[in-house]
Amino acid sequence: MSAAQSQSTLEAKLKALQCHFTWDIDTSRSNLFRLRDRLEDIGTDDGNNWLGHIYNLQGYIHYQLGFIENSRRFFSKATEAFRRARKVSDEGPWLVVNYGNLAWLHHQLGEQAESQKYLSEVDTLLREYPSPSQDELHPEIYAEKAWTLMKFGKDKKVMVADYFQRAIRMQPDMVEWNTSHVMVLLNDLKNCDKPQEEEILEKMRMAKEQDPENFYLAALELEQRAMKGERIEDEARELARKVLKNPVSSYSGMKTLLRVYSKHISVDEAIDLAEEALEKHPDERYLKRCAALCYKWKILFSRDSPAKQSMIDRAVSLHKEVISLYPHASLVKKIDLANVYAKSNQGLAKAEQIYQELLEMDLEPAGKQLLYNGYAKYLNAARQDTHRSIEYHKKAVEIQQQSYFRENSIKALRKIRETNV
């Protein structure tokens, strides 16, 4: 076989692999940086059953961002994490995606012998551990693909739910797969009819029984019950004590629990809980982000009397910290900071300055749409400038990208038109 034919065969094998390099993943740099931050906030506690998947995705993200040595390190950590988590054997189908990633990485770096070695490893695993269902991928592959694509937007939710269902059907004893599948279904609960809603809530109850130490799921279940009018205050406070004892993680349930407090108990209690968590872990950026969110809810959306200047000062301080700690995902927090400033005694000038600086930035269409929608609402609420508010809502709508912000601007324009008829 000639060198050209050999190269062509290698590339065909690589393209046939099931791994992050062959899945439909958004590789825009802004999205990758945001996702990198989210994965770091999950934490690396050894009890996390998704640790191998987290490292795998981090390896891919770091490769796409050009951090090659970090990419190697994370793919190696993924290998070790899978081996520790699946105690029955060092080798198994759970390594297929990881070895596929390594085959791609070495190929992209011109290390063809290493790439070929991992291709052979994948072939061996697929022969030794065939899928229980003919013509379908192995359930371990479906589960990792579903977990990964969960992180890349709502447009993939149908596919993600299908992959989890396939994995669970073939291997129903994997608790974390059932839990993650339920979380996917919960995200779309408000769009379901009554029979579908009851089916999803029953699956959630079953998942909670199977996974009693999953406080994230417990917080989601409390939220659903509270939305149905149940009194959940005592259970929420009890769950908060448990969450505070656990390692800090975006999977801990803290953010969901703060949302439950703020909507169904008291936003002041939500602030107290966030501050208590920060007192225990003063250097955790994720908790600073949660606390900033609580102060935003209190200052911008509470129907109580206007917030005291001391509370606004605390909110400003937290938002500034969060912006510095998440430099690649700071657009939303800068908008929040501007809106918090607008509620203070002398803050309108600072709010306007932040918005003007943001409007001069070279943002991707999704970022522009978010900004135009936010600025339009600020102009209407803080400046009472309906004319310019309409102008920026129209700018948001003109960006042909379906999103909450576009729909929100469309609703705002309709409401303004109906009011002025």
List the CATH number of the domain containing 42. 1.25.40.10
Which are the contacts of 301, defined by CB distance < 8 A and separation ≥ 6? Answer: none
Q: How far apart are CA 51 and CA 139, in angstroms?
A: 17
Taking all residues of the chain, what is their mean pLDDT, rounded to a whole number?
92
Phi, psi of 24 (to 5 degrees): -80, 85
Q: What's the number of domains the chain is made of?
A: 3
Q: Is residue 137 part of a domain?
A: no
Same domain, 376 and 349: no
Of 99, 129, 159, the position where a domain reaches its end is 129
Q: Is residue 23 part of a domain?
A: yes
Q: Is 303 exposed, middle or buried (0-12, 13-18, 19+ CB in 10 A)?
A: exposed
Which are the contacts of 197, defined by CB distance < 8 A and separation ≥ 6? Answer: 189
Same domain, 403 and 310: no
Of 313, 328, 358, the position where a domain reaches its end is 358
Q: Is residue 180 part of a domain?
A: no
Check pLDDT > 60 for residue 331: yes
Q: Is residue 375 part of a domain?
A: yes
Q: What is the pLDDT of residues 244-255, one digit of tens each?
A: 999 999 999 999
Q: How far apart are CA 293 and CA 255, in angstroms?
A: 9
Query: What dihedral do alpha carbons 196, 202, 203, 205 form, nearest 10°?
Result: 150
Same domain, 238 and 264: yes
Same domain, 258 and 337: yes
Same domain, 347 and 297: yes
Same domain, 252 and 336: yes
pTM of the complete model: 0.91
Q: Is 13 exposed, middle or buried (0-12, 13-18, 19+ CB in 10 A)?
A: middle
| Half-sphere CA count of 347, side-chain side, radius 13 A | 20
Q: Is residue 160 part of a domain?
A: no
Q: Is residue 178 part of a domain?
A: no
Domain that holds residue 400: 362-421
Low-confidence winner among 78-87, 93-102, 144-153, 187-196 (lowest mean pLDDT): 187-196
Q: Is residue 186 part of a domain?
A: no
Check pLDDT > 70 for residue 195: yes
For residue 421, the model assigns a pLDDT of 55
- Percent of the chain exceeding pLDDT 70 equals 96
Name which of 277, 264, 205 is nearest 233 in CA terms: 264
Q: Which helix (H) or strand (E) holds 354?
A: helix 348-359
Q: Is residue 168 part of a domain?
A: no
Q: How far apart are CA 378 and CA 352, in angstroms?
A: 9
Which are the contacts of 167, defined by CB distance < 8 A and separation ≥ 6? Answer: 139, 140, 142, 143, 146, 174, 177
Q: How confident is the model at residue 178 (pLDDT cuts 50, 70, 90)?
A: very high
Same domain, 330 and 248: yes
For residue 5, the model assigns a pLDDT of 56
Same domain, 291 and 353: yes
Q: How far apart are CA 282 and CA 144, in angstroms?
A: 33
Q: How far apart are CA 159 and CA 162, in angstroms?
A: 5
Low-confidence winner among 23-32, 118-127, 204-213 (lowest mean pLDDT): 23-32
Q: How far apart are CA 48 and CA 214, in angstroms?
A: 10
As a residue count, the chain comes to 421
Of 129, 156, 174, the position where a domain reaches its end is 129
Q: What is the pLDDT of residues 61-118, one digit of tens each?
A: 999 999 999 999 999 999 999 988 876 667 899 999 999 999 999 999 999 999 999 9
Chain CA centroid to CA 197, Å? 23
Same domain, 333 and 375: no
Q: Is 420 exposed, middle or buried (0-12, 13-18, 19+ CB in 10 A)?
A: exposed
Same domain, 231 and 348: yes
Q: Running DSSP on this structure, what letter comes out for residue 43?
A: -
CB atoms under 10 Å from CB of 4, counted, come to 8
Check pLDDT > 90 for residue 299: yes
For residue 222, the model assigns a pLDDT of 95
Which are the contacts of 206, defined by CB distance < 8 A and separation ≥ 6? Answer: 178
Name which of 35, 86, 87, 30 is nearest 58 in CA terms: 35
Same domain, 348 and 397: no
Same domain, 333 and 411: no
Alpha carbon separation from 332 to 124, 201, 220, 296, 336 (Å, rounded):
47, 32, 24, 12, 6
- Percent of the chain exceeding pLDDT 90 equals 79
Phi, psi of 72 (to 5 degrees): -55, -45
Q: Which residues of 17-48 are buried (b: 16+ CB within 10 A; e: fewer)?
A: bbbbbebebeeeeebbbbbbbbbebbbeeeeb
| Half-sphere CA count of 86, side-chain side, radius 13 A | 17
Low-confidence winner among 30-44, 125-139, 180-194, 377-391 (lowest mean pLDDT): 180-194
